[in-house]
Structure 1
Amino acid sequence: MSYSLRLFRSIDAARLGEIFAEAVRVVGAHGYTNEQVAAWAARSPAAESRIFERISAGDRIMVAVGSDDDPVAYAILEQDGHLDHLYCHPDHTRQGLTDLLLEAAEEQARARGCSRLYTEASELARPAFERAGYIVTHRRDFSIAHAGQDVPIHNYAMEKALD
């Protein structure tokens, strides 16, 4: 399948929530416990209003699409260079989409005058960010309230200086 990148369109909102949920549920299970995946998935951005709030705030949502123009992966870049929500549907992993989205985020950040990109990468996303030149600044251990308990989980604060 061939892929291309484009900016978010309003008709993409519900699909992005589905991509998030499937990526966390399927891919997340390879690096996190069932409890951690359930807590993480419960934070799904499926509500269209939240996606539109991000757009209204000036965030850029870059979307990878297949030849049918259906979204299969996405990333959200905030105005200050924070890269949020880089997710790929499990049926489209290992196709270079993460690399494409990271390159697009760099271009967007440079165009906005950002001097660095920074993110919080999951255990599974960390290698892709490292390949793209990001460095780990520290491991973030925290908990997510879910099903009446605090579920411990972690990710990595990472950043990349832009030339």
Structure 2
Amino acid sequence: MLIIRKYVEQDAREIWLLFFNTIRNINRHDYTELQVQAWAPDSMDLFIWNKRMIDIEPFIAEIDGTIVGYADLQNDGLIDHFFCHYQYQRQGIGSALMAHIFDLGGKKKINSYFSQVSISAKPFFEHFGFKLVKQQSIDVKEQQLINFHMQKRV
């Protein structure tokens, strides 16, 4: 059974590994090896990662004690992180996280959502009514990565 709960500090390592492995196994189909290595480096200072997670306050999708995804929603409508475990793709986890975002956004009276979406995630966000605002190229550790600024108005 899928539950969605708040992030706790003890999640830091597992969330980092989910982030790392999803980029290295899923996003590698749309980005070069050097790009995914820059985006998800071989090591991460868990203190820095945990601080970042505390700052964005993600919520965690969990099945039987296994973390299978995470996402966040900022007060201005930004979805900064949205990741589903690479071994749990196409099982409804992303849909459950997006439904949670929209529910939370409704309670916060958010009328416009936006995100910087990878090539890999673009079709998923389009499925939920997000529209392309612009394609952009971002610098990540001396690599240029294409992503998309997408928005959904309520």
TM-score, L = length of structure 1: 0.85
Partner of 2:135: 139
CA pair 99-44 structure 1, distance change in 2 beyond 3 A? farther
1:12 and 2:4 are equivalent in the alignment: no
CA–CA distance in 1 between the matches of 2:42 and 2:59?
A: 20
| SS across alignment from 1:82 | coil
Partner of 1:78: 74
Partner of 1:157: 149
Partner residue of 1:104 out of 80, 100, 103: 100
CA–CA distance in 2 between the matches of 1:112 and 1:76?
A: 13
How far the C-alpha of 1:151 sits from its partner, in A, is 1.4
- Determine if contact 1:18/1:46 at 8 Å carries over to the other structure: no
Aligned length: 154
How far the C-alpha of 1:103 sits from its partner, in A, is 1.1
CA-to-aligned-CA distance 1:73-103 (integer Å, 9 cap, x gap): 1002222110011111111111111111111
CA pair 142-10 structure 1, distance change in 2 beyond 3 A? closer
CA-to-aligned-CA distance 1:108-132 (integer Å, 9 cap, x gap): 1222222211001100100110001
Aligned counterparts, 1:51-62, within 5 A: 51-55=50-54, 57=55, 59-62=56-59
- Determine if contact 1:14/1:46 at 8 Å carries over to the other structure: no
One-letter amino acid matched to 1:65: E
**Structure 1 unmatched ranges of 5 or more:** none
How far the C-alpha of 1:45 sits from its partner, in A, is 6.7
Partner of 1:31: 30
One-letter amino acid matched to 1:93: Q
| SS across alignment from 1:22 | helix
Mean CA deviation greater in 104-113 or 37-46: 37-46
**Structure 2 unmatched ranges of 5 or more:** none
TM-score, L = length of structure 2: 0.90
Partner of 2:86: 90
